[in-house]
Structure formats: structure tokens, C-alpha cells
Amino acid sequence: MKNILIVIIGPTAIGKTALSIQLANHFNCDILSCDSRQFFKEMEIGTAVPNKEELAAATHHFIQNKSIFDSYSVGDFEKEALQKLDELFQKNPIQVMVGGSGLYVDAVLKGFDEFPDIDPAVREEINTQYEALGIEYLQKKLQELDIDYFHYLEKTNPQTLQNPQRMKRFVEVCIGSGQTYSSFVGKRKNTRNFTPIVIGLEADRAIMYERINRRVTIMMNEGLLEEVESLYPNKKLNALQTVGYRELFDYLDHNTTLELAVEEIKQNTRRFAKRQMTWFKRTENAIWFDFETPVNVIIETISSKI
């Protein structure tokens, strides 16, 4: 039997974890988490890590397996996830992957282009310039070094031009290699030893937003503020530049009230969910279901594809 990777995608708070456990139990397989926020052991409540009962219900991988102090990239995850899948496919040719991080899902399904190693001094200088001059520095630099890629982003994904981490990467590749970033794109052909079956979960926007608001309230009741307080000394780490943590750091810095910070978490999570859906809707051959679809219907659909 050929290897099959069942991939569950969709916005935050839609029910991906519950479905992944049901599918793993049905197909007697493991679950790979593909959520870039759930890798970190110091972040639990604010990342909606599966609870003890959920973790006990199926074998999970890549849950709280890294520290916020570790350097860990999407490329590292791609390599480790593919190695783990090779292992798991030896036991069962069907496995499940679940997560809301579109970039990380794409890394496993398609892989990325190969880029040269960059001198850390180049990265440090770009960081220094960004801290002093802001996102405009990165935008001007990319225009100067790779105008074609800048125009491509303007047309296809303008929000990326506002993303400091992505923009720093584009600029550092240009400076560090002496070539344009676009000259490396599309050169590498990645092969996979599995066939993906991609299952998407969705809901009407009003329902999705109501579920998000409810989840944030639950997180606060479970001790999110205390979790953020414990991480406050490390608030500048990359891993902590994320929704649910940034807003409460603002509160702890006396820049806002707790009530406003919680409302900001809800609003930013809703925006995040909207971006997730925009990304995932581009996924080729994904089969979309309403989040309340009975699991047996989804299992029948998957079984018909195997």
C-alpha cells in the first residue's frame, strides 16, 4: 500500500485537534503537529496545546518539543518531520498531520527552495538597521536589491511586505549571496514518498469568531496571564512575538488595561484566523467540510481516496 498522509487544516479554534484524534484512532496511527506555536514547552495555555486527555488519546509528535531559547526554523521542521514520517510509515502507511501554520504545512507537503548559508554578521547588521529604521528600511532595501521580487510580492502577497521576519530573510539572502532572492526560487525539485489527502475544516465567519472569543475567555480563566507573567523577562524572544502574548506584555508594561488587552487578543486572533483561511484556501486538492460534519462522513471520504 502506498503511503498516505492525512492533513487537517483550518483556522484556529475550529476543531482540528479533536478531528485528528478521531482519525488517528480510526486508522490506528500517530499525529504530527504542524503548529509552529505548539513546539515550545514554555508556551502552553496561549497556544492551545492539546490537554492531557487529548495527548493520551493518540501518540503526538512535535508538541512542546523545543524551548523558546532554541533556534528553530521552518526548514528544521521540514527535515525533522520528514524523518519522523519515514519512521512512522514503516509501522503504518497511513499517518495524520494537523496544524494551523500554513507555511509549515507547505514545508512538509512541498518543501522549499534551497538557499545559501548566510554569514551571521549580515543578519546582525540587518537586525540593527531594522531596529533603527523600521520596516521601511527592509522594503527600500529589497526594492534596491531585487526589484522583480518586490513587484511580485506587491501583486501576489502585499501583506508579506509588512512582515519583518520574512523581509529580513529576503534582504539577508540578497546581501549575503550577492544575488537576487528570486534567483533561488523554483530551482529545487522536492519529492515526497507519500500522497497527501488534505481535509479542511471551516465555519461561517460569525461562528468562527464566536468560537475564538470563547477560547480566549477560557484561556484567561485557565491562567494565561500567569503564563505570560512567567515569560515576561524573555518577551523579546522571537517565539514570544505572537498573539496572546504580545497583548499581555503590553498590559504588563502598563500600556493598556487588562480588559483592553483581552479584547485585543480576541481581535488579533480573529484577524489571524482570517489570514489562515486565505492561505489554506489556496491549498491544492483540499476537501473542505463544515466543522460540524460527522466524523464518519469525513472517514468515508478519506477511505474512498485511499
Residues 6 or more apart whose CB falls under 8 angstroms from that of 243 comprise 265, 268, 269, 272
15 is in an annotated binding site: yes
12 is in an annotated binding site: yes
Helix-strand-coil percent breakdown of the chain, rounded to 5? 55, 10, 35
**Cβ of 180: how many Cβ atoms within 10 Å?**
17
13 is in an annotated binding site: yes
| DSSP state letter for 134 | -
144-147: list long-range contacts, CB under 8 Å, 24+ apart.
Answer: 145/171, 145/174, 145/175, 145/180, 145/181, 146/170, 146/174, 146/180, 146/181, 146/182
11 is in an annotated binding site: yes
Q: State the DSSP H helix or E strand holding residue 201, giving kind and residue range, or none if neither.
A: strand 195-202
Do residues 224 and 248 make contact, with C-beta atoms less than 8 angstroms apart?
yes
* Dist. CA 139–CA 144, nearest whole Å: 9
56 is in an annotated binding site: no
SS3 121: helix
Q: State the DSSP H helix or E strand holding residue 137, giving kind and residue range, or none if neither.
A: helix 135-145
31-33 and 94-98 beta bridge pairing: parallel
Structure-block grid coordinates of residue 65:
518539543
17 is in an annotated binding site: yes
Annotated binding site for ATP: 10-17
Annotated binding site for substrate: 12-17
Binding site residue list: 10-17
